[in-house]
Structure 1
Amino acid sequence: MKLDSIRRDYKRASLTKKDLITDPTEFFSKWMHEALSAGLRDATSMALSTVGEDGFPQSRIVLLKDFNSDGFTFFTNYQSEKGRAISLNPKISLHFFWPELERQVRISGIAEKTPVQASEQYFHSRPLDSQIAAAVSAQSSEVPSRDYLEEKFSNLKNQLKGNDPERPEHWGGYLVRPVKFEFWQGRENRLHDRMVYEKQADNWIIKRLAP
């Protein structure tokens, strides 16, 4: 494979301070709406980065399930690798990449658990099989085989007889309260537009970064 010659130019759009909105969450909402309206597959997927128990950063893709002026919400197993990492260091980052729009958004923030009621409500809004999978999977722990997982899944599904399982206490949501946003728009000749919002007290300071 010859990878060093793979490249493309970015000519779709530009991003200036005049395009921005004072509230970065509102501007994110605009970009998310445009990504969804464009029919982008997995537009709500985001790379969640944490610092692991071993001191190394780790990233994985999770799905954004809600956002508002308070922050950005996703759900997971609190005993998973990412859950354990967040319990040690709640400073995390989120990264959205929409290549069809030649856009990226990076968000730095502090993660905290959502109220139990919010976790209960979302857990039972999921398809039944997804609820069962969450109930039987000790996420990030070693398992002997795929058959082991499927057997646990089948056993619980048969026991439930079409009823919902109880939400495991170790499964729930995180709200990420943002302290920094970066909006990236690809441009020609790699002179990309990078606009950053940084929180200072109750205000957002906007600045442009070199690409």
Structure 2
Amino acid sequence: MKLEDIRREYTKGGLRREMLADNPISQFETWLQQAVDAKFTDPTAMVVATVDEHGQPSQRIVLLKHLDEQGFVFFTNTGSRKAQELKSNNKLCLHFPWHEIERQVIVYGEAKPLSTAAVAKYFLSRPAESQLAAWASAQSRPVSSRKVLMETFHNMKAKFSKGEIPLPDFWGGYCVEPTKVEFWQGGEHRLHDRFMYIKKAGGNWDVDRLNP
């Protein structure tokens, strides 16, 4: 196998300035709806990139759980690596890779913690097994075996078997308030279409076309 020989053309359509919405949230909602309508697997999956105190980036895939004019919302264990890194540097990057329609969206912004009420509202809407898994997992920390993890899960299931599963005090969420958002549409001959929204001081957005 020669990796350098693996290539294909991008032919599913172009992107022009007149096709874009005035703000990136509206544009993203349009593209996300098209990904959902196309029945993609995990259309809300996004790569979250953070940086630790030594400047080392790390990435992981999480699911987008809410979107409005304020930004992009996800939830996590506050003891996880990403949450700990966001404590010291709340700047992060989100990446939505919609390969099937040759599109990408990259969001640059700052993560702001959600209120306890907002976190509780979402947590209590999750399936019971997902709630129990949140209690059972000390996310990002070592565990000796899957057997130990499952034992903890079953212990939590027994502990909360007679009532509502409460919100863990180590579980939270973030709203990523965007400062820049790039929309990428694949093009023939690697002449891709890229547009970057940049937030201005007054809250409006400038849009620049980028070279591919």
1:70-95 Cα deviation digits (max 9, x unpaired): 00000001110000000110000000
How do 1:46-195 and structure 2 match up within 5 A? 46-161=46-161, 163-195=163-195
- CA gap 1:105/1:162 in 2 versus in 1, 3 angstroms: farther
SS at match of 2:174: strand
Aligned counterparts of 1:66 and 1:159: Cα–Cα separation in 2: 30
Letter in 1 for 2:210: L
State the Cα distance separating 1:203 from its structure 2 match.
Answer: 1.8
- CA gap 1:134/1:204 in 2 versus in 1, 3 angstroms: same
Partner of 2:211: 210
Partner of 1:4: 4
State the Cα distance separating 1:104 from its structure 2 match.
Answer: 0.1
SS at match of 1:4: helix
> Contact between 1:109 and 1:176, CA under 8 Å: does it hold in 2?
yes
- CA gap 1:190/1:209 in 2 versus in 1, 3 angstroms: same
1:59-117 Cα deviation digits (max 9, x unpaired): 10000000010000000011100000001100000000101110000000100111111
Aligned counterparts of 1:54 and 1:165: Cα–Cα separation in 2: 37
State the Cα distance separating 1:42 from its structure 2 match.
Answer: 0.5
- CA gap 1:162/1:42 in 2 versus in 1, 3 angstroms: farther
Letter in 2 for 1:36: V
Aligned counterparts of 1:144 and 1:102: Cα–Cα separation in 2: 41
Partner of 2:197: 197
SS at match of 2:33: helix
Aligned counterparts of 2:138 and 2:54: Cα–Cα separation in 1: 20
Aligned counterparts of 2:159 and 2:190: Cα–Cα separation in 1: 57
Aligned counterparts of 1:94 and 1:162: Cα–Cα separation in 2: 39
> Contact between 1:199 and 1:205, CA under 8 Å: does it hold in 2?
yes
Q: Percent identity?
A: 46
State the Cα distance separating 1:162 from its structure 2 match.
Answer: 5.5
Q: TM-score, normalised by structure 2?
A: 0.97
Question: Number of residue pairs matched?
Answer: 211
Aligned counterparts of 1:17 and 1:164: Cα–Cα separation in 2: 50
Partner of 1:38: 38
Moved over 6 A (4+): none
Aligned counterparts of 1:48 and 1:23: Cα–Cα separation in 2: 22
Aligned counterparts of 2:162 and 2:45: Cα–Cα separation in 1: 30
